Structures are given as C-alpha cells and as structure tokens.
Amino acid sequence: MRTRVGIVGGGPAGLLLSHLLHLRGIESVVLEARSREDLESEIRAGVLEHGTTELLMETGVGDRMRREGAVHRSVNLQFDGRRERIDLEGLTGKTITLYGQHEVVKDLVRTRLEAGGEVLFGAKGIELRDLGSEEPKVRFLREGEERELRCDFVVGTDGFHGVSRKSLPDRVSTEYERRYPFGWFGILIEGPPSTEELIYALHERGFALVSTRSPEIQRLYFQCDPNDEAGNWSDDRIWAELHARLDTEDGWTVNEGNIIHKNVVQMRSFVCEPMRYGRLFLAGDAAHIVPPTGAKGMNLAVADVRVLSRGLTEFYASGETELLDGYSETCLRRVWKASRFSWWMTSMLHRFDGDDAFQYRMQVAELDYVTGSRAAATSLAENYVGLPMERGFEAQAKERASAS
C-alpha cells in the first residue's frame, strides 16, 4: 500500500488531520488499533475552545456540534463558600462549546468514510520504519495479515502510550514531565443539569467540577487518590463526597441522577521536544499531555494538526518545507502556554498532600484575586477560551500597527 501521509492513531488529531488534508486534495490513510465502536464510545473531556469550534464549522464537520452542543458564555469558580462568575464572553468576546470528544470523533469518522477516506480500524502491532528516509513505512497486522504502508510522511497521533513517540531514536528528543499526586474520579449521570454553567470548586476536601454533556446527561468530577479504582466507590459514597465539596449554604445542591459511567483520570504534564524527527511528526497526546483542569487536551491536538495541515499543503503545492520545518517550534509555543495554564489551574484548585493551612489560604486568596480583578479574570478567560491558534502577541501587534 502507498499513500502520501500515513496517520497512526484515529483519535480527534488523526481524523481531523486526515479531513483537513482531504480538503486540500492530499491523500492519507488512518490506522487505528481499536474497533470503530470502542473508539467512538471512549468518554473523554468535552470543552471545545472558540477556535476549535470555528475550525470544525469552517471545514464542514461542525453541524451536529452546532445543533447539539451547548454554548457557554461564562464559568464559575467556587471557593470559601462563595461562587464567582468569570464572564468569558464579556472579557474576551469569545465563548466555549460543551460537546463530548467522542461526539467529535463520531462526526469525523462519518465524514471521512462518506468522503471515501481510508480509516483502517483494528490495525495492530504497528511498527514505524525508515523515519529518517524519504519513504517512511508503517508495518501493521490487520485481519490476520501483515501489511506495509509506504508514505511520504508519517504522523503519530496515537496518544501518550502509542508507539509513535517511542519510535524516536534515543537522544533525538527531550521529555519534560510533572506528575500530580492525585487523579480525577469522573462520573456520567442521567439527569438534568445542576447549573447552567460549569463550576470549578476548591474545597478543603479537594477539587470538584460540575460539567455537562446534554440536557439529559451530566458530567461530574472530584479529586481522588491517583491509584483509586472506579469500583472502590459506591454510588452513595460518590454522592456524599460531591455534596460535601459542592453544596452551598444558600441551599444550592448538586442534582443526583443515575450513574451510568465511572472512571479515574490520571493527571500529568508532559512535553516532548521537538515534535518531529525526520519524516515523522507527532501531534496531540503523542507529543504532550496536560492535566485535565481547563480541558486543553483535545484543543491542543486540534491546533497541532491545523499547523501541520498547512505545512503539508505548502509542501505538496510547492515543494517548500518552511512551514513543516517550523511545525515543532510553532506548536510548542502554544503547547507550553497551555501547559502553564493547565498546571496553574490544577495548582490553584487542588489540595496537595502535605499542604498546610497557609497554602490553602494562598489558594483562596488567589481565587479571590482572579475573580475580583478584571485584569486577572481576563488572563484566565483568554486562556480558557483558547489562545490564538498560531499567531503570537508580536504578530498581532504588527497587524494592529499596520491596520492603524
């Protein structure tokens, strides 16, 4: 088999890249180890930044998101018995959309298959070869048969545990990591929303988050031991913990519902530099991981493949490699800023083992400042709705100067 771009991993990054390339007339093949059913049912985060929703709309895969997703104009921070609103739209002119990652995946799979795209599910035992050459190869096993895909480029979008990053030769990359001493216990419930907007809560017992998926399905999380298992928590114990961390003295209480899914989310910051070796490009979780606080993971993956699709488009149109050569640096600037934001939100909103009363007071003071100062609230809001996709402050300043 031969294709131009071999994409290893059929999550949002891989599928969206394949879609963007198709719109530019560039052929690709997506290899995914899981079955379509498993891929489409994996429960992940659900906050889409402004730029992510725009890209999905502009490229024709956003219709269902527009219909079924919920636009949120603000989020709440709860601490010290108070709940304060951050007016995202008022501070930035932008909003976010609540729409599950697996719904984005379903929309992308359908769009790719309807356009005749090749998405090969159940591709096992993937190995990457000849990455330093002009014809890298992907070997895999599918339906009992050994296959080889020859490509111009290989893109690794197979997540943190995938083979792509592990295929980099020793010493060509540097990895930066921070592990957090807690996880998130996540539940999906059937029932009406407790609030119209998200609530991020700091409580002495630990962090809690009220989110939503639809008018009928709600998503809630609370800080837990990183080694905890979903089966350790009875429904009653889960509700007691959520009430303890979230209910307020004015009588507001989190709505209970039938729990239909429980999982524990690990928390880690990780960045691999550079995001390229030879003809292999890494994108999304294969290259970087953020803790979930602030929901940046999928949005970063989308930003990566947007940059990469432009580089590949330029290459196939003109043979130029300037954008491809700048891929890693362009993406990493945004990745590090989102890593900083996710680390900051995580640090501000969680209890760390061994934290003393002084530390807790610092966290409350920081939340008080962030919600009370327009400057600080704007800083949170502009990160939350998403920093500009590619242009930095300097490029924007230049544009402003030339416009005036």
Binding mask 165-184 for ligand DHB (x = CB under 6 A): --------------------
In whole angstroms, give the CA distance from residue 287 to residue 272.
Answer: 5
- Residue 165 vs 219, nearer CB to ligand DHB: 219
Is residue 99 among the annotated active site residues? no
Asked if 159 touches ligand DHB (CB under 6 A), the answer is no
Minimum distance of ligand DHB from residue 255's CB (angstroms):
16
Catalytic status, residue 296: yes
Active-site residue flag, 274: no
Minimum distance, C-beta of residue 94 to ligand DHB, in the bound complex (Å): 16
Instruction: Yes or no: say if 76 and 195 are a contact pair by the CB < 8 Å rule.
Output: yes
| Phi and psi torsions of 264, nearest 5° | -110, 125
Which residue from 28, 211, 223, 313 is in contact with ligand DHB, where contact means CB under 6 A?
Answer: 211
Crossing angle of helices 374-385 and 327-349, rounded to 10°: 130
Q: Does 45 bind ligand DHB (CB under 6 A)?
A: yes
* Among 11-19, 27-35, 43-51, 273-281, the segment contacting ligand DHB (CB under 6 A): 43-51
Which CB, 233 or 384, lies closer to ligand DHB? 384
Closest CA to 202 of 98, 353, 82, 343: 82
Contact call for residue 294 and ligand DHB (CB under 6 A): yes
Nearer to ligand DHB, 140 or 184 (CB): 184
How far apart (Å, rounded) are the C-alpha atoms in residues 21 and 164?
A: 20
Q: Does 295 bind ligand DHB (CB under 6 A)?
A: yes
193 is catalytic: no
Give whichever of 157 and 299 is closer to ligand DHB, judged by the CB atom.
299
Q: Is position 74 an interface residue for ligand DHB (rule: CB under 6 A)?
A: no
Q: What are the residues whose beta carbons fall under 8 Å from the beta carbon of 77, sequence distance 6 or more?
A: 83, 84, 86, 199, 200, 201, 202, 367, 370, 371
Rounded Cα distance between 337 and 383, Å, is 9
User: Annotated catalytic, 369?
Assistant: no
Q: Is 218 in the site for ligand DHB (CB under 6 A)?
A: no
Q: Which residue, 64 or 142, has its beta carbon nearer to ligand DHB?
A: 64
Among 200, 221, 277, 327, the active-site one is 200
Position among 53, 293, 330, 339 found at the interface with ligand DHB (CB under 6 A): 293
The site that binds ligand DHB (CB under 6 A) totals a number of residues, namely 11
What are the structure tokens assigned to 381, written together?
């809001």
Angstrom distance (rounded) from CA 183 to CA 180: 8
Rounded Cα distance between 173 and 332, Å, is 13
Kindly state the smallest distance separating residue 81's Cβ from ligand DHB, in Å. 22
Query: Could you say whether residue 69 binds ligand DHB (CB under 6 A)?
Result: no
As a residue count, the chain comes to: 404
Strands 96-98 and 217-224: unpaired
Q: Decide whether 72 or 310 has the Cβ nearer to ligand DHB.
A: 72
Q: Least distance to ligand DHB from the beta carbon of 197, Å?
A: 11
From 19, 72, 137, 262, active-site residue: 72
Does 189 bind ligand DHB (CB under 6 A)? Our answer is: no
Among 102, 112, 165, 219, binds ligand DHB (CB under 6 A): 219
Among the options 180, 288, 292, 327, which is catalytic? 292
Contact 89, 73 (CB under 8 A): yes
Distance CA 128, CA 126 (A): 7
What is the set of active-site residues?
A: 72, 200, 292, 296, 384
Residue ranges binding ligand DHB (CB under 6 A): 45-47, 198, 209, 211, 219, 292-295
